[in-house]
Amino acid sequence: MDHIKLVIRAFRAVNDPDACHRYVDGHMKVLRIFGITMITSANKDWISDPYTYVIMVESEDGEKVYGGARIQLAGGPQPLPIETAVEELQPDIHRIVQEYAMEGTGELCGLWNSREVAGLGIGSMYLIRAAVTLTEQLRMTTLFALCAPSTVKSSMRVGYEIASFMGNNGTFYYPKEDLVATAVVIPDTRTLENADPAEREIIMGLRQQPVQFKIDEGPRGQVLEINYKLLIE
């Protein structure tokens, strides 16, 4: 795969249930590889939730799903996955989210990418960037996430910081006792003042032009042709 053509698109979950089911299938395959079966962001209730938006990385013909992520807005019929995940360890999590929700908040959750493309540089970074791009359209001023160790660094690059007011200085044993998850939050999605300058520039460019074609170079010199479709109808 030296020349890869991809589509990264965003949509409201209720508008494309077929794509949502393909996303779920791919996510569950990845979780099973790591022996994880109980995870709050892996349930399917969100498919009918009008407060949930989906980002998918697909092949050009739409036949293959290489990865995905979701943004769930606070204030809908379901609590955010982070609320359900840590409520026993952090009893005031619902109050914390409610306070942030007054200015518009939500959670980046359910992020996964297939092994097929994980080593090609088409991983969490593209999905995290796309999610932060969408916060402007979705009128969010902050964005939570519960990160696996492998995505903390990528999250920091786009402006996340550790939510040290939660858990053990931001960390929890989740989804099982031998795994550590880190709670993170972007304190101001509009300015992204903590983001790496290069990442900030990419995200601001995608906000100005959410539908665009871009050619990137992967970490192994591959040519990545990416068709961004990040305008939510």
Residues 6 or more apart whose CB falls under 8 angstroms from that of 24 comprise 42, 44, 47
> Helical H runs in 70-196?
81-86, 93-101, 115-118, 124-137, 149-157
pLDDT at residue number 233? 81
Question: pLDDT confidence of 215, banded at 50, 70, 90?
Answer: very high
Secondary-structure class of domain 3-229 per CATH: alpha beta
- Distance between CA atoms of residues 99 and 93, nearest Å: 10
pLDDT at residue number 221? 77
Residue 178: Cβ-neighbour burial (10 angstroms; 0-12, 13-18, 19+): exposed
Residues 6 or more apart whose CB falls under 8 angstroms from that of 13 comprise 20, 46, 47, 48, 49, 50, 52, 53, 54, 70
Are the C-beta atoms of 10 and 130 separated by less than 8 Å? yes
Residue 113 C-beta-side C-alpha neighbours within 13 Å: 20
Higher pLDDT, 41 or 63: 63
- Name which of 16-30, 97-111, 191-205 the model is least confident about: 16-30
Question: pLDDT confidence of 38, banded at 50, 70, 90?
Answer: low
* Domain assignments of the chain as residue spans, ordered by start: 3-229
Residue pLDDT, tens place only, 167-213: 899 998 877 777 889 999 999 999 999 999 999 999 999 999 999 99
In single-letter form, the type of residue at position 165 comes to F
Beta bridge partners of 96: none
- Region 119-125: mean pLDDT is 71
**Helix 149-157 vs helix 124-137: angle between axes, to the nearest 10 degrees?**
50
